[in-house]
Amino acid sequence: MQNSVDNEANDRRDFLKLGVLGAAAACGSMLCSCGGNKADVGKKVKLLSPDGELVEVDTKHLRPVHKTVVVSREEARQGIPGKMFVMVIDLAKCNNALKCVSACQKMHHLPEVKEWLQVRLMKDSPAAAPYWFPKTCFHCDNPPCVKVCPVDATFKRQDGLVLIDTERCIGCKFCMAACPYSTRVFNWSEPELPEEVMCLTYSPETSVPSKVGTVEKCDFCPDMVRAGQLPDCVTACPNGVFYCGDENEDAVSSQGFIPIDALFYRY
């Protein structure tokens, strides 16, 4: 009889834990879709604690959960059929808010010292005015990093994106030496990742969980664009610096609003 009571209690605790996780995941997805909406700051939601108590939690403490489309390793290497992804960065609008950098770090569980997206202060000549330059991976049309990789860990997809498969990467750093823009970083130490991230199944489209002794870089968030969502760097920017889309569908209609002085990255 005692075992039956204990089992019922354990079942109830497990159910409540699942309820909390499910609610947190659902709220995280909604927060993600809002793209950093300031109206959500300070908003409270009610959740069940593992002990069965109803508690109020500020939404800023909930971990965002991105909905991703699970694809095979072959699909991740081939890319999305019929797509050619592009990004335009309006240099005149950037004021070094760095929201794009922090959003990228949060999305990919990067420490503050590691930046896949860097914002640099540039000056074309001594007499010219300085300007802020957000530098991502250029996803080159003819990427030298792909040519020098001896194990096919770095590859270019049919949709224009250049990705890294850390399951194949041996850490030789040839791609880092070949990159003309210095946009790649190396994992010198074991990444400190949450347990729920370490348990994820690795994919070149998500780039997580990261691994020690491998190379990383901006990946254009292909898991998000496959799901029809914008990369976090785009939605987090308060000044509308970033434009991105599919060259095959969006380029013609977007010509009217792409600024002439914008820097165009062709992926």
Q: Residue 259: is the preceding peptide bond cis (ω within 30°)?
A: no
Check residue 110 and give its pLDDT.
93
Q: Could you state, in order of their start, the residue ranges of all structural domains in the chain?
A: 2-61, 73-266
CB 53 within 8 A of CB 215: no
Report how far apart the first and last C-alpha atoms of the chain are (Å, whole number): 66
Tokens representing residue 28 in the block: 């995280």
Question: Cα 2 vs. chain centroid, distance in angstroms?
Answer: 50
Tokens representing residue 201 in the block: 């199944």
Q: Which residues contact 101 (CB under 8 A, 6 or more apart)?
A: 115, 117, 118, 119, 233
d(CA 236, CA 9): 44
Position 259 pLDDT exceeds 50: no
| 17-41 pLDDT tens trace | 434 334 333 333 323 333 334 445 5
Out of 5-9, 54-58, 135-139, give the one with best mean pLDDT: 135-139
Mean pLDDT taken over the chain: 79
Check residue 12 and give its pLDDT.
43
Tokens representing residue 238 in the block: 């308060």
Kindly indicate the confidence band of residue 197, based on its pLDDT and cuts at 50, 70 and 90.
confident
List the alpha helices (DSSP H) in the chain. Answer: 2-34, 73-78, 99-107, 144-148, 174-178, 195-198, 222-226, 232-236, 247-254
d(CA 74, CA 254): 32
Chain position carrying tokens 């799901």 = 227
| 61-105 pLDDT tens trace | 555 555 566 788 899 999 999 999 999 999 999 999 999 999 999
Tokens representing residue 234 in the block: 């785009």
CB 122 within 8 A of CB 135: no
| 150-190 pLDDT tens trace | 999 999 999 999 999 999 999 999 999 999 999 999 999 99
Position 121 pLDDT exceeds 90: yes
Name residue 175's amino acid. Answer: C
d(CA 174, CA 145): 7
Q: For 55-64, 214-223, 242-251, which range has the lowest pLDDT when averaged over its residues? A: 55-64
d(CA 206, CA 58): 27
Kindly indicate the confidence band of residue 60, based on its pLDDT and cuts at 50, 70 and 90.
low
Domain 73-266 has CATH 3.30.70.20: yes
d(CA 161, CA 141): 9
